[in-house]
Chain A
Amino acid sequence: MTADTYLAPKRLDEALEALRGGEATILAGGTDLMVQSQSGKTPIGPKLVNIRRIAGLAGVVRADGEIHIGALTTIAELLEHELVRTHLPSLAEACDHFASSQIRNAGTLGGNVCNASPAGDTLVPLLALGASVELAAKPDAAVTTRAMPLGEFIVGPGKTQRKPAELLTAIRIPVPAAGGVQRFFKFGTRPALDIAAISLGLVTVKEGGVLRHVRLALGAVAPVPMRGVRAESMLEGRRLDPALIEAAAAAARDEVRPISDVRASDWYRRELVRNMVKRMLTDVSQS
């Protein structure tokens, strides 16, 4: 018989002290944790630490050329936030296609990132936007923080570089260049409450018709959300034309590593990637 505890700290340092020594399960919105704990996929540890009451961990602000999103910001709050709608329309689009109204009202951005699903809806635009994560710990008297790119943070399905004593406190996104292009596309069989068969995010700048700083992210086509680096390098510094679009779409198809599962086969996902990258680039070429 274990002496299970439940903690709901109001301050970050209290939460970090509770995480020290491991054995803690972190609760935020609960929308993934409840399902995963009941199915046995994520058993709840001796300490259940509800971080929802920590002051200052929610909200979106702009500072030092970055948009700083607190880990506890809900998907609904992101969707409604002026800074997100103005500067991060691809993230807003992903939030709009995220599960249902009820889940958007409860689920947090930090939770979606730490859940590290290959099909996580916000991860694809975050990766395309060059987001990084901020982690805090309190190994002794002082709180320490570190940051790393999202692409390094997620290492496998449900696996991240977060150490048991660490808490993800924020997502930071460089403010995209004004006039830049952002696109997000999620393919599912129904509009709501669906897990993506594939998803795509594209962030680039179009200067006199030439693409610069191209970042293409792909979801649900590999163990982790991935960048389409071969397609990106083909597009970088080039003007979009039908032949280039066709070639870049084929490169993206060839560099993804999908599995076959209940939502789609490997072959179908690859063909979706090719066709949807083609459609997205064609749309960008005409805008």
Chain B
Amino acid sequence: MSAKVEIGFNLNGAQRTVEVPREMSTLDMLREVIGLTGTKYACGEGECGACTIIVDGRSVNACLMFAPDCDGRSVTTVEGVVDTPLGERLRDAFVQAGAVQCGFCTPGMMVQAKHLIDMHDGKLGREAIKRGIEGNLCRCTGYVKIVDAIAAAAQPKG
């Protein structure tokens, strides 16, 4: 019988309090307890990046993070990312570039893209984008268009 842990954290700008089993992943908490299904489950072991979220300003695999570890932290999911000016730029750029095929990797790609753009302060080249999305797999093999989209979104609107 696994203990339940009550945790409070900031989720996409709003304070949340939830009870979770101590061994639950943050991914299961987001999808099953809170009901935010933008963050995708695919491999469940940190290989594919479909569950990428941002915690305290850094991207992580939600499937590898114990949900109780969210306590007191700031969590941003794809739903929070698209609500920002950069998120809108990313969404437009993905559409413009045709960077969405089946779309399953797209939420993780967009969250990781936000992390990369935030960390590179407006100077994000294609090589850094390619290195930065090494942990995000696209099975439709649409990487060129995804890199195009991230590069376009990384350019601050002049």
Q: How large is the interface on A (under 10, 10 to 19, 20 to 34, 35 or more residues)?
A: 20 to 34
A156 at the interface (CB under 8 A from B): no
Using known A-B contacts A101-B135, A102-B52, determine if residue A31 contacts B64 with beta carbons closer than 8 Å: yes
A30 at the interface (CB under 8 A from B): yes
Q: Which B residues from 16 to 72 make CB contacts under 8 A with A?
A: 22-23, 25, 44-47, 49, 52, 58-61, 63-66, 68-69, 71-72
How far is B63's CA from A37's CA once the two chains are assembled, in angstroms?
13
Contacts of A103 in B (CB 8 A): 46, 60-61, 64, 135
Q: Mark A7-34, 1 if CB is under 8 A from B, else 0.
A: 0100000000000000000010111011
Contacts of B52 in A (CB 8 A): 102
Interface centre among A99, A103, A191, by most chain B C-beta atoms within 10 angstroms, is A103
A57 CB to closest chain B CB (Å) equals: 15
On whether the beta carbons of B64 and A4 are closer than 8 Å, the reply is no
- Pick the contact of B59: A29, A34, A101, A191 (CB < 8 A): A101
- Pick the contact of B66: A30, A76, A192 (CB < 8 A): A30
Using known A-B contacts A6-B22, A100-B49, A193-B47, determine if residue A105 contacts B69 with beta carbons closer than 8 Å: no
A147 at the interface (CB under 8 A from B): no
- Pick the contact of A4: B3, B45, B71 (CB < 8 A): B3
B5 at the interface (CB under 8 A from A): yes
How far is B65's CA from A192's CA once the two chains are assembled, in angstroms?
20
Contacts of B102 in A (CB 8 A): none
Q: Mark A93-135, 1 if CB is under 8 A from B, else 0.
A: 0000001111101100000000000000000000000000000
Interfacial residues, chain A to chain B (CB-CB below 8 A)? 1-6, 8, 27, 29-31, 33-35, 37-38, 44, 48, 50, 52-53, 76, 99-103, 105-106, 191-193
Other contacts beyond A99-B46, A192-B131: 15, CB < 8 A: A1-B1, A3-B1, A6-B68, A8-B69, A30-B66, A37-B23, A48-B23, A76-B58, A99-B135, A100-B46, A101-B112, A101-B135, A102-B135, A106-B60, A192-B134
Task: Enumerate the 6 nearest inter-chain pairs by beta-carbon distance, A residue then B residue, closest first.
Answer: A100-B135, A192-B134, A6-B22, A105-B58, A4-B3, A106-B60
Q: List 9 A-B contacts (CB under 8 A).
A: A5-B3, A35-B45, A37-B23, A53-B72, A101-B112, A101-B133, A192-B135, A193-B47, A193-B134
